[in-house]
Amino acid sequence: MTSEHSESDVICDIESHRPEPRISVVIPAKNEAENLPHVFARLPEDLHEVILVDGNSTDGTVDVARDLHPGILVVDQTRKGKGNALACGFAAATGDFIVMLDADGSTDPSEIPRFVAALKEGADFAKGSRFMPGAGSSDISRLRQYGNFWLNKIVNVLYGTRYTDLCYGYNAFRRECLSVMDLDPGRHGGADAGEMLWGDGFEVETLINVRIAKAGLRVAEVPSFESDRVFGSSNLNAFSDGIRVLRTIHAERGRKTDRARSTEGASRRLAGISWAGMSTFDEEAS
């Protein structure tokens, strides 16, 4: 009994001295100067860093971002597309937890603490969902919702997941997930500069979700409300991007993925002095 109390006291002491995780927010942007003030005004104050990935904007997006947030890190894309922008931002991030946030005002930065809480409670990947209690969307069309519903069903059947919203880009994850995602940021001036390779488009969200599932990581869905973009129009095309998503689902079935391994068990990670390490469903069940 004495040893049990002693171990419990040690765990509580470690938890009390554990530093708060450093949060990196990655924001892909192309010509979003008008929308950035609405996004930055709702960012939490205790962030480790904000990274704006610029897709060769011509409307002063970068200048506006620096005026709004003088400490912002600006990264230029190496290729085209949202997927490449995220890959470039992830490669530059130094935080313990990384948050994916849109620049058009459709995803609410004030929800970031919800995602962080899910990670602190033990999830490896906190996945936003517009289709669970407490969530919603004023932006998604019936056609996109219908397509998302069936694509979501296909992924759940093929990969044994229980996702409620496949094609939503508001997510957060432990930085150790980057090796599982395996996104190639490319390099500036490379032979493929200016092009859009596989995974560089809107299909990146599906690609990430599928790779996280195949690796057996712990996923927690977080209710989120998607608003209409504040200004401008989206580059999303329901048909062509839907086809890319479907091709991604098929292509990933043939891709070999090593299930994630952790050097510590889940309980040890929760009682550790840092926020590093991942767990798997297999580990959780053992």
CATH code at position 207: 3.90.550.10
- Residue 227 is assigned to a structural domain of this protein: yes
- Residue 255 is assigned to a structural domain of this protein: yes
Give which of 13, 158, 194, 170 is closest to 99, Cα–Cα: 170
Tally of domains within the chain: 1
- Residue 175 is assigned to a structural domain of this protein: yes
Rounded Cα–Cα distance for residues 172 and 169 (Å): 10
pLDDT for 83: 93
- Residue 159 is assigned to a structural domain of this protein: yes
What range defines the domain where residue 159 resides?
A: 21-285
Alpha helices in the chain (DSSP H): 2-17, 36-40, 61-68, 82-92, 112-120, 142-159, 178-181, 204-214, 238-253, 266-270, 281-285
Task: Judge whether 127 and 163 are in contact, CB under 8 Å.
Answer: yes
Cβ count near 96 (within 10 Å) = 21
- Residue 10 is assigned to a structural domain of this protein: no
pLDDT for 285: 41
Cβ count near 259 (within 10 Å) = 13
pLDDT in tens, the chain (286 residues): 455 555 555 545 555 567 899 999 999 999 999 999 999 999 999 999 999 999 999 999 999 999 999 999 999 999 999 999 999 999 999 999 999 999 999 999 999 999 999 999 999 999 999 999 998 888 676 777 777 788 888 999 998 899 998 888 899 999 999 999 999 998 876 767 767 676 777 789 999 999 999 999 999 999 999 988 888 776 655 667 667 877 888 888 877 665 554 433 343 344 344 455 544 444 444 4
Q: Which residues pair with 49 in a beta bridge?
A: 24
Cβ count near 86 (within 10 Å) = 27
- Residue 15 is assigned to a structural domain of this protein: no
Burial classification of residue 6, based on how many CB atoms lie within 10 Å of its CB (0-12 exposed, 13-18 middle, 19 or more buried): exposed
- Residue 8 is assigned to a structural domain of this protein: no
- Residue 79 is assigned to a structural domain of this protein: yes
